[in-house]
Structure 1
Amino acid sequence: MTEEEIVRYLRGNPAFFDRNADALAEIVLVSPHSRRTVSLQERQAELLREKIRAFEMRLMELLRHGADNTVLADRLLRWSRDLFLEHDATRVPDLIAESIQQQFAVPQVALRVWGVAPVHGDAPWAQGATEEVRQFADALREPFCGVNTGFEVAAWLPHPEQAVSLALLPLRALEPAVTVTRTGQALDSPATIGLIVLASPDAQRYTSTMGTDFLLRIAEVASAALSRLR
Protein backbone atom coordinates (compact mmCIF):
# COMPACT_ATOMS: atom_id res chain seq x y z
CA MET A 1 0.00 0.00 0.00
CA THR A 2 1.10 3.54 -0.66
CA GLU A 3 1.07 6.23 2.03
CA GLU A 4 -1.90 7.88 0.32
CA GLU A 5 -3.88 4.63 0.48
CA ILE A 6 -3.05 4.22 4.18
CA VAL A 7 -4.20 7.79 4.90
CA ARG A 8 -7.43 7.25 2.96
CA TYR A 9 -8.09 4.01 4.85
CA LEU A 10 -7.55 5.58 8.28
CA ARG A 11 -9.74 8.56 7.40
CA GLY A 12 -12.44 6.22 6.16
CA ASN A 13 -12.20 3.99 9.23
CA PRO A 14 -12.04 6.25 12.29
CA ALA A 15 -12.74 3.27 14.59
CA PHE A 16 -9.53 1.52 13.52
CA PHE A 17 -7.60 2.61 16.63
CA ASP A 18 -10.54 1.72 18.85
CA ARG A 19 -10.26 -1.81 17.60
CA ASN A 20 -6.46 -1.74 17.78
CA ALA A 21 -5.73 0.22 20.94
CA ASP A 22 -2.51 -1.68 21.59
CA ALA A 23 -1.10 -0.66 18.23
CA LEU A 24 -1.93 3.00 18.99
CA ALA A 25 0.04 2.80 22.23
CA GLU A 26 3.03 1.25 20.48
CA ILE A 27 3.36 3.92 17.78
CA VAL A 28 6.13 6.37 18.65
CA LEU A 29 7.29 9.52 16.84
CA VAL A 30 10.17 11.95 17.14
CA SER A 31 9.18 15.36 18.49
CA PRO A 32 10.52 18.18 16.25
CA HIS A 33 10.96 20.34 19.35
CA SER A 34 12.87 18.16 21.79
CA ARG A 35 14.02 15.44 19.34
CA ARG A 36 12.87 12.87 21.87
CA THR A 37 10.58 9.95 21.16
CA VAL A 38 6.91 10.60 21.98
CA SER A 39 3.71 8.65 21.61
CA LEU A 40 1.19 9.38 18.88
CA GLN A 41 -1.14 10.97 21.44
CA GLU A 42 1.62 13.28 22.67
CA ARG A 43 2.45 14.30 19.10
CA GLN A 44 -1.23 15.05 18.45
CA ALA A 45 -1.32 17.17 21.58
CA GLU A 46 1.77 19.08 20.39
CA LEU A 47 0.12 19.76 17.03
CA LEU A 48 -3.01 21.03 18.77
CA ARG A 49 -0.95 23.32 21.01
CA GLU A 50 0.83 24.71 17.95
CA LYS A 51 -2.49 25.41 16.25
CA ILE A 52 -3.81 27.11 19.39
CA ARG A 53 -0.70 29.30 19.60
CA ALA A 54 -1.10 30.25 15.92
CA PHE A 55 -4.77 31.14 16.52
CA GLU A 56 -3.85 33.19 19.59
CA MET A 57 -1.21 35.13 17.65
CA ARG A 58 -3.68 35.77 14.85
CA LEU A 59 -6.29 36.94 17.36
CA MET A 60 -3.81 39.32 19.00
CA GLU A 61 -2.90 40.70 15.57
CA LEU A 62 -6.58 41.30 14.76
CA LEU A 63 -7.15 42.99 18.12
CA ARG A 64 -4.11 45.21 17.55
CA HIS A 65 -5.35 46.19 14.09
CA GLY A 66 -8.79 46.90 15.54
CA ALA A 67 -7.32 49.17 18.22
CA ASP A 68 -5.19 50.98 15.61
CA ASN A 69 -8.24 51.49 13.39
CA THR A 70 -10.21 52.90 16.33
CA VAL A 71 -7.45 55.42 17.04
CA LEU A 72 -7.33 56.45 13.37
CA ALA A 73 -11.11 56.80 13.22
CA ASP A 74 -11.08 59.04 16.31
CA ARG A 75 -8.37 61.22 14.78
CA LEU A 76 -10.30 61.46 11.51
CA LEU A 77 -13.39 62.59 13.41
CA ARG A 78 -11.43 65.25 15.32
CA TRP A 79 -9.86 66.45 12.08
CA SER A 80 -13.27 66.65 10.38
CA ARG A 81 -14.67 68.52 13.39
CA ASP A 82 -11.91 71.15 13.10
CA LEU A 83 -12.80 71.71 9.45
CA PHE A 84 -16.52 72.06 10.22
CA LEU A 85 -15.82 74.63 12.93
CA GLU A 86 -13.78 76.88 10.64
CA HIS A 87 -16.06 79.66 9.36
CA ASP A 88 -13.43 81.46 7.26
CA ALA A 89 -13.26 79.60 3.95
CA THR A 90 -9.86 81.09 3.11
CA ARG A 91 -8.40 79.39 6.19
CA VAL A 92 -9.58 75.91 5.20
CA PRO A 93 -6.63 74.87 2.96
CA ASP A 94 -4.04 75.80 5.58
CA LEU A 95 -6.17 74.22 8.31
CA ILE A 96 -6.39 70.95 6.34
CA ALA A 97 -2.60 70.74 6.12
CA GLU A 98 -2.00 71.80 9.73
CA SER A 99 -4.60 69.42 11.14
CA ILE A 100 -3.33 66.45 9.14
CA GLN A 101 0.19 67.12 10.38
CA GLN A 102 -0.97 67.34 14.01
CA GLN A 103 -3.66 64.66 14.16
CA PHE A 104 -1.83 62.00 12.14
CA ALA A 105 1.79 62.85 13.00
CA VAL A 106 2.82 63.46 9.40
CA PRO A 107 6.25 65.16 9.23
CA GLN A 108 5.42 67.36 6.22
CA VAL A 109 2.16 68.28 4.49
CA ALA A 110 1.50 70.54 1.51
CA LEU A 111 -1.66 71.32 -0.42
CA ARG A 112 -2.59 73.12 -3.62
CA VAL A 113 -6.07 73.93 -4.90
CA TRP A 114 -7.05 75.09 -8.38
CA GLY A 115 -10.24 76.13 -10.11
CA VAL A 116 -11.16 78.37 -7.17
CA ALA A 117 -13.24 81.55 -7.33
CA PRO A 118 -11.31 84.63 -8.60
CA VAL A 119 -11.37 86.20 -5.14
CA HIS A 120 -9.07 83.37 -3.93
CA GLY A 121 -6.77 83.34 -6.95
CA ASP A 122 -3.86 85.11 -5.23
CA ALA A 123 -3.77 82.87 -2.15
CA PRO A 124 -0.50 80.93 -1.66
CA TRP A 125 -2.33 77.57 -1.73
CA ALA A 126 -3.80 78.49 -5.14
CA GLN A 127 -0.34 79.03 -6.70
CA GLY A 128 2.28 76.70 -8.10
CA ALA A 129 0.24 73.85 -9.60
CA THR A 130 1.52 73.57 -13.17
CA GLU A 131 -0.48 72.05 -16.00
CA GLU A 132 1.67 68.90 -15.76
CA VAL A 133 0.84 68.57 -12.05
CA ARG A 134 -2.87 69.00 -12.75
CA GLN A 135 -2.80 66.35 -15.44
CA PHE A 136 -0.88 64.02 -13.13
CA ALA A 137 -3.42 64.54 -10.32
CA ASP A 138 -6.31 64.01 -12.72
CA ALA A 139 -4.81 60.69 -13.83
CA LEU A 140 -4.63 59.36 -10.25
CA ARG A 141 -7.61 57.07 -9.67
CA GLU A 142 -6.57 56.58 -6.03
CA PRO A 143 -3.89 57.99 -3.71
CA PHE A 144 -0.32 57.28 -4.75
CA CYS A 145 2.06 55.93 -2.11
CA GLY A 146 5.74 55.25 -2.68
CA VAL A 147 9.30 56.49 -2.78
CA ASN A 148 9.91 60.06 -3.87
CA THR A 149 11.61 59.72 -7.24
CA GLY A 150 11.76 63.44 -7.90
CA PHE A 151 8.11 64.41 -8.01
CA GLU A 152 7.56 68.04 -8.91
CA VAL A 153 5.02 68.45 -6.09
CA ALA A 154 7.72 67.72 -3.48
CA ALA A 155 8.87 71.30 -4.06
CA TRP A 156 5.70 72.48 -2.28
CA LEU A 157 7.01 71.05 1.00
CA PRO A 158 8.94 73.17 3.52
CA HIS A 159 11.88 70.73 3.35
CA PRO A 160 11.67 68.78 0.09
CA GLU A 161 15.12 67.28 0.59
CA GLN A 162 13.74 65.34 3.58
CA ALA A 163 10.84 63.81 1.63
CA VAL A 164 11.91 60.18 1.12
CA SER A 165 8.44 58.63 0.81
CA LEU A 166 5.25 60.34 -0.33
CA ALA A 167 1.49 59.93 -0.33
CA LEU A 168 -0.27 61.99 -3.01
CA LEU A 169 -4.02 62.47 -2.50
CA PRO A 170 -6.01 63.85 -5.46
CA LEU A 171 -8.90 66.11 -4.47
CA ARG A 172 -12.06 66.02 -6.56
CA ALA A 173 -15.21 68.09 -6.89
CA LEU A 174 -18.33 66.75 -5.19
CA GLU A 175 -20.32 66.70 -8.42
CA PRO A 176 -19.27 65.26 -11.79
CA ALA A 177 -18.69 67.70 -14.63
CA VAL A 178 -21.34 68.02 -17.34
CA THR A 179 -20.39 68.09 -21.00
CA VAL A 180 -22.73 68.65 -23.93
CA THR A 181 -22.53 66.07 -26.71
CA ARG A 182 -24.42 65.73 -29.97
CA THR A 183 -26.86 63.39 -28.29
CA GLY A 184 -27.35 65.61 -25.25
CA GLN A 185 -25.67 66.10 -21.88
CA ALA A 186 -23.24 63.54 -20.47
CA LEU A 187 -21.74 63.26 -17.00
CA ASP A 188 -17.98 62.98 -16.74
CA SER A 189 -16.00 61.87 -13.70
CA PRO A 190 -15.62 64.56 -11.00
CA ALA A 191 -13.06 67.21 -11.87
CA THR A 192 -9.79 67.24 -9.95
CA ILE A 193 -9.56 70.42 -7.86
CA GLY A 194 -6.32 69.94 -5.94
CA LEU A 195 -3.67 67.68 -4.48
CA ILE A 196 -2.47 66.93 -0.95
CA VAL A 197 1.16 65.86 -0.44
CA LEU A 198 2.14 63.87 2.66
CA ALA A 199 5.87 63.33 3.12
CA SER A 200 8.12 61.44 5.50
CA PRO A 201 11.89 60.88 5.87
CA ASP A 202 11.06 57.20 6.53
CA ALA A 203 11.11 55.15 3.31
CA GLN A 204 8.61 52.69 4.84
CA ARG A 205 6.03 55.27 5.95
CA TYR A 206 4.33 55.32 2.53
CA THR A 207 4.83 52.23 0.37
CA SER A 208 3.24 50.93 -2.81
CA THR A 209 1.80 47.93 -0.94
CA MET A 210 -0.06 49.83 1.79
CA GLY A 211 -3.84 50.19 1.80
CA THR A 212 -5.28 53.52 0.71
CA ASP A 213 -8.84 53.35 2.06
CA PHE A 214 -8.06 55.68 4.95
CA LEU A 215 -6.27 58.13 2.65
CA LEU A 216 -9.32 58.11 0.38
CA ARG A 217 -11.52 59.17 3.33
CA ILE A 218 -9.13 62.03 4.08
CA ALA A 219 -9.26 63.16 0.44
CA GLU A 220 -13.07 63.00 0.39
CA VAL A 221 -13.46 65.07 3.55
CA ALA A 222 -10.89 67.61 2.36
CA SER A 223 -12.61 67.89 -1.02
CA ALA A 224 -15.94 68.56 0.66
CA ALA A 225 -14.41 71.24 2.92
CA LEU A 226 -12.73 72.94 -0.05
CA SER A 227 -15.96 73.10 -2.07
CA ARG A 228 -16.63 76.50 -0.43
CA LEU A 229 -13.76 78.00 -2.40
CA ARG A 230 -15.22 77.33 -5.85
Structure 2
Amino acid sequence: MHQAEQSQNEVFDQEQRVAEYLMAHPDFLVRHPEVLTAIEVPHGVTGAVSLIEYQVRALRRQLATERNRFIHLIARAREYESLSTRLHGLILQLMVVDDSEPLCHLLRETLLREFHAEALAFKLFALAAIEEGAPHDPLANAFADFIDRRNALCGPLSPERAVALFGEGGAGIHSAAIVPIHASGQSGIIAIGSADATRFSPDMGTDFLNRLGEIISQKLRAIRFSGCEPH
Protein backbone atom coordinates (compact mmCIF):
# COMPACT_ATOMS: atom_id res chain seq x y z
CA MET A 1 0.00 0.00 0.00
CA HIS A 2 1.30 3.42 -0.96
CA GLN A 3 1.99 5.91 1.80
CA ALA A 4 -0.66 8.34 0.43
CA GLU A 5 -3.31 5.61 0.46
CA GLN A 6 -2.33 4.61 3.98
CA SER A 7 -2.59 8.22 5.13
CA GLN A 8 -6.02 8.56 3.55
CA ASN A 9 -7.18 5.36 5.25
CA GLU A 10 -5.96 6.65 8.61
CA VAL A 11 -7.87 9.92 8.13
CA PHE A 12 -10.98 7.94 7.12
CA ASP A 13 -10.69 5.75 10.22
CA GLN A 14 -10.35 8.84 12.44
CA GLU A 15 -13.39 10.44 10.83
CA GLN A 16 -15.37 7.28 11.33
CA ARG A 17 -14.50 7.21 15.03
CA VAL A 18 -15.47 10.88 15.38
CA ALA A 19 -18.77 10.26 13.58
CA GLU A 20 -19.54 7.22 15.73
CA TYR A 21 -18.79 9.16 18.90
CA LEU A 22 -21.03 12.09 17.88
CA MET A 23 -23.90 9.73 17.01
CA ALA A 24 -23.46 8.00 20.37
CA HIS A 25 -23.44 11.38 22.16
CA PRO A 26 -25.97 13.61 20.35
CA ASP A 27 -25.76 16.25 23.08
CA PHE A 28 -22.02 16.80 22.52
CA LEU A 29 -22.42 20.22 20.84
CA VAL A 30 -24.82 21.28 23.58
CA ARG A 31 -22.18 20.50 26.20
CA HIS A 32 -19.38 22.00 24.08
CA PRO A 33 -20.83 24.98 22.18
CA GLU A 34 -17.33 26.35 21.56
CA VAL A 35 -16.81 23.57 19.00
CA LEU A 36 -19.70 24.92 16.95
CA THR A 37 -17.87 28.19 16.41
CA ALA A 38 -14.89 26.40 14.89
CA ILE A 39 -16.58 23.99 12.45
CA GLU A 40 -18.65 24.33 9.28
CA VAL A 41 -22.25 23.16 9.71
CA PRO A 42 -24.29 22.53 6.51
CA HIS A 43 -27.75 24.04 6.63
CA GLY A 44 -29.23 23.22 3.23
CA VAL A 45 -30.00 26.81 2.27
CA THR A 46 -28.75 28.23 -1.02
CA GLY A 47 -28.69 31.84 -2.12
CA ALA A 48 -29.27 33.18 1.38
CA VAL A 49 -27.67 33.14 4.80
CA SER A 50 -29.65 31.07 7.26
CA LEU A 51 -30.23 32.19 10.82
CA ILE A 52 -28.00 29.36 12.04
CA GLU A 53 -25.13 30.45 9.79
CA TYR A 54 -25.60 34.07 10.83
CA GLN A 55 -25.47 33.10 14.51
CA VAL A 56 -22.40 30.94 13.99
CA ARG A 57 -20.60 33.77 12.18
CA ALA A 58 -21.53 36.18 14.95
CA LEU A 59 -20.24 33.74 17.57
CA ARG A 60 -16.98 33.34 15.68
CA ARG A 61 -16.48 37.08 15.47
CA GLN A 62 -17.25 37.42 19.16
CA LEU A 63 -14.84 34.60 20.01
CA ALA A 64 -12.08 36.17 17.90
CA THR A 65 -12.64 39.52 19.60
CA GLU A 66 -12.50 37.97 23.06
CA ARG A 67 -9.36 36.04 22.19
CA ASN A 68 -7.63 39.19 20.95
CA ARG A 69 -8.75 41.05 24.07
CA PHE A 70 -7.43 38.26 26.29
CA ILE A 71 -4.09 38.23 24.45
CA HIS A 72 -3.87 42.02 24.85
CA LEU A 73 -4.61 41.78 28.58
CA ILE A 74 -1.95 39.09 29.04
CA ALA A 75 0.60 41.23 27.18
CA ARG A 76 -0.26 44.30 29.29
CA ALA A 77 -0.02 42.28 32.51
CA ARG A 78 3.42 41.01 31.54
CA GLU A 79 4.51 44.51 30.59
CA TYR A 80 3.37 45.93 33.94
CA GLU A 81 5.07 43.11 35.81
CA SER A 82 8.30 43.82 33.96
CA LEU A 83 7.97 47.57 34.60
CA SER A 84 7.34 46.97 38.30
CA THR A 85 10.49 44.86 38.52
CA ARG A 86 12.55 47.55 36.81
CA LEU A 87 10.99 50.27 38.95
CA HIS A 88 12.04 48.33 42.05
CA GLY A 89 15.60 48.21 40.71
CA LEU A 90 15.58 51.95 40.10
CA ILE A 91 14.32 52.59 43.64
CA LEU A 92 17.19 50.58 45.09
CA GLN A 93 19.68 52.67 43.12
CA LEU A 94 17.99 55.94 44.09
CA MET A 95 18.32 55.02 47.76
CA VAL A 96 22.10 55.37 47.64
CA VAL A 97 22.29 58.50 45.46
CA ASP A 98 23.28 61.53 47.54
CA ASP A 99 24.14 64.22 44.99
CA SER A 100 22.53 65.86 41.94
CA GLU A 101 25.12 64.77 39.37
CA PRO A 102 24.86 61.00 39.99
CA LEU A 103 21.07 61.42 40.20
CA CYS A 104 21.01 62.97 36.72
CA HIS A 105 23.30 60.25 35.38
CA LEU A 106 21.15 57.48 36.87
CA LEU A 107 17.87 58.91 35.58
CA ARG A 108 19.25 59.64 32.13
CA GLU A 109 20.81 56.21 31.71
CA THR A 110 17.82 54.31 33.11
CA LEU A 111 14.90 56.20 31.57
CA LEU A 112 16.35 56.49 28.08
CA ARG A 113 17.05 52.77 28.09
CA GLU A 114 13.73 51.66 29.58
CA PHE A 115 11.61 53.82 27.31
CA HIS A 116 13.75 53.42 24.18
CA ALA A 117 13.95 57.22 24.00
CA GLU A 118 16.51 59.69 22.72
CA ALA A 119 16.18 62.72 24.99
CA LEU A 120 15.72 63.52 28.66
CA ALA A 121 15.11 66.82 30.44
CA PHE A 122 14.71 67.33 34.19
CA LYS A 123 13.98 70.84 35.41
CA LEU A 124 12.77 72.30 38.71
CA PHE A 125 11.38 75.76 39.36
CA ALA A 126 10.96 77.69 42.60
CA LEU A 127 7.31 77.61 43.62
CA ALA A 128 7.44 81.26 44.68
CA ALA A 129 8.39 82.32 41.15
CA ILE A 130 5.68 80.15 39.64
CA GLU A 131 3.01 81.50 41.98
CA GLU A 132 3.89 85.06 40.97
CA GLY A 133 2.49 84.16 37.56
CA ALA A 134 5.46 85.22 35.44
CA PRO A 135 8.51 83.01 35.93
CA HIS A 136 11.53 84.19 33.98
CA ASP A 137 12.53 80.71 32.88
CA PRO A 138 11.17 80.19 29.32
CA LEU A 139 10.72 76.49 30.04
CA ALA A 140 8.55 77.31 33.05
CA ASN A 141 6.54 79.68 30.86
CA ALA A 142 6.06 77.02 28.22
CA PHE A 143 4.83 74.44 30.75
CA ALA A 144 3.12 76.67 33.32
CA ASP A 145 -0.19 74.92 32.62
CA PHE A 146 1.37 71.52 33.38
CA ILE A 147 3.38 72.15 36.52
CA ASP A 148 0.37 71.85 38.86
CA ARG A 149 -0.69 68.47 37.45
CA ARG A 150 -0.48 65.32 39.54
CA ASN A 151 -0.45 62.79 36.72
CA ALA A 152 1.98 62.24 33.87
CA LEU A 153 1.02 63.20 30.33
CA CYS A 154 2.02 61.41 27.12
CA GLY A 155 1.57 62.49 23.52
CA PRO A 156 2.91 64.35 20.51
CA LEU A 157 5.11 67.36 21.09
CA SER A 158 5.08 70.61 19.12
CA PRO A 159 8.44 71.77 17.69
CA GLU A 160 8.38 74.83 19.96
CA ARG A 161 7.89 72.84 23.13
CA ALA A 162 10.38 70.20 22.02
CA VAL A 163 13.11 72.82 21.62
CA ALA A 164 12.10 74.47 24.91
CA LEU A 165 12.49 71.13 26.67
CA PHE A 166 15.47 69.54 24.99
CA GLY A 167 17.37 72.48 23.52
CA GLU A 168 18.66 72.33 19.97
CA GLY A 169 18.39 68.55 19.95
CA GLY A 170 14.66 68.91 20.48
CA ALA A 171 14.16 69.62 16.78
CA GLY A 172 14.17 65.86 16.18
CA ILE A 173 11.86 64.97 19.09
CA HIS A 174 8.21 64.39 18.15
CA SER A 175 6.57 62.77 21.20
CA ALA A 176 7.22 62.79 24.92
CA ALA A 177 6.18 61.60 28.34
CA ILE A 178 6.12 64.46 30.84
CA VAL A 179 6.15 63.64 34.55
CA PRO A 180 5.30 66.28 37.18
CA ILE A 181 7.71 66.63 40.10
CA HIS A 182 6.75 68.21 43.43
CA ALA A 183 9.48 68.71 46.02
CA SER A 184 9.90 71.01 49.02
CA GLY A 185 9.50 74.55 47.72
CA GLN A 186 9.98 73.42 44.13
CA SER A 187 7.92 72.07 41.28
CA GLY A 188 8.99 70.85 37.89
CA ILE A 189 9.00 68.18 35.23
CA ILE A 190 10.88 65.21 33.88
CA ALA A 191 10.44 64.89 30.11
CA ILE A 192 11.35 61.73 28.18
CA GLY A 193 11.45 62.44 24.45
CA SER A 194 11.38 60.21 21.38
CA ALA A 195 12.01 60.85 17.70
CA ASP A 196 9.11 58.47 17.01
CA ALA A 197 5.85 60.46 16.92
CA THR A 198 3.91 57.37 18.06
CA ARG A 199 6.25 56.26 20.86
CA PHE A 200 4.32 58.23 23.51
CA SER A 201 0.59 58.48 22.83
CA PRO A 202 -2.27 60.03 24.84
CA ASP A 203 -3.86 56.62 25.48
CA MET A 204 -0.76 55.18 27.17
CA GLY A 205 -1.05 54.09 30.77
CA THR A 206 0.79 56.42 33.16
CA ASP A 207 0.80 54.41 36.41
CA PHE A 208 4.50 53.62 36.12
CA LEU A 209 5.35 57.26 35.34
CA ASN A 210 3.21 58.58 38.19
CA ARG A 211 4.96 56.29 40.68
CA LEU A 212 8.31 57.31 39.27
CA GLY A 213 7.43 60.98 39.78
CA GLU A 214 6.39 60.35 43.39
CA ILE A 215 9.60 58.45 44.15
CA ILE A 216 11.85 61.11 42.64
CA SER A 217 9.88 63.88 44.36
CA GLN A 218 10.49 62.15 47.67
CA LYS A 219 14.19 61.71 46.90
CA LEU A 220 14.57 65.43 46.21
CA ARG A 221 13.58 66.16 49.79
CA ALA A 222 16.91 64.64 50.85
CA ILE A 223 19.33 66.24 48.36
CA ARG A 224 19.90 69.69 46.89
CA PHE A 225 18.98 69.69 43.23
CA SER A 226 18.26 72.28 40.55
CA GLY A 227 17.82 70.07 37.51
CA CYS A 228 19.59 68.13 34.75
CA GLU A 229 20.90 69.63 31.57
CA PRO A 230 18.89 68.51 28.52
CA HIS A 231 20.40 65.52 26.76
**TM-score class, shorter:** 0.5 to 0.7
Cα deviation digits, residues 56-85 of structure 1 (max 9, x gap)? 222112111111211222222222222123
Residue of 148, 151, 158 corresponding to 2:157: 148
Q: Quote how far apart the aligned CAs of 1:193 are.
A: 2.7
Residue of 154, 161, 164 corresponding to 2:171: 161
- Could you tell which deviates more after superposition, 56-65 or 37-46? 37-46
Residue of 182, 192, 216 corresponding to 1:198: 192
Q: Does 1:96 align with 2:107?
A: yes
Q: 1:153 to 1:46 in 2, by over 3 A?
A: closer
For 1:211, the aligned partner's letter is G
Q: Quote how far apart the aligned CAs of 1:109 are.
A: 0.8
Counterpart residue number, 2:67: 56
Q: Quote how far apart the aligned CAs of 1:220 are.
A: 0.9
Contact 1:166 1:200 in 2 (8 A): yes
Contact 2:121 2:165 in 1 (8 A): no
SS in 2 for 1:229: coil
Counterpart residue number, 2:211: 217
Contact 1:113 1:195 in 2 (8 A): yes
Q: Quote how far apart the aligned CAs of 1:51 are.
A: 2.7
For 2:123, the aligned partner's letter is R
TM-score using structure 1 length: 0.60
Q: 1:38 to 1:134 in 2, by over 3 A?
A: closer
Structure 1, unaligned runs of 5 or more? 1-26, 31-35, 117-127, 175-190
SS in 1 for 2:220: helix
Q: Does 1:172 align with 2:182?
A: yes
Cα deviation digits, residues 38-66 of structure 1 (max 9, x gap)? 76545544443333222222211211111
Contact 2:99 2:223 in 1 (8 A): no
For 1:193, the aligned partner's letter is S
Q: Does 1:113 align with 2:107?
A: no
Cα deviation digits, residues 81-132 of structure 1 (max 9, x gap)? 221232445522332232211233222111123459xxxxxxxxxxx67652
Q: 1 or 2, which has the higher strand percentage?
A: 1
Q: 1:169 to 1:39 in 2, by over 3 A?
A: closer
- Identical positions, percent: 26
Query: CA–CA distance in 2 between the matches of 1:152 and 1:61?
Result: 32
Q: 1:224 to 1:133 in 2, by over 3 A?
A: farther
* Aligned positions of 1:13-52 closer than 5 A: 40-52=51-63
Q: 1:153 to 1:80 in 2, by over 3 A?
A: farther
Q: Quote how far apart the aligned CAs of 1:154 are.
A: 3.5
Query: CA–CA distance in 2 between the matches of 1:158 and 1:79?
Result: 29
TM-score using structure 2 length: 0.60
Q: Quote how far apart the aligned CAs of 1:199 are.
A: 0.7
Q: Does 1:139 align with 2:148?
A: yes
Structure 2, unaligned runs of 5 or more? 1-42, 128-136, 225-231
Query: What's the C-alpha RMSD, in Å, of the aligned pairs?
Result: 3.2
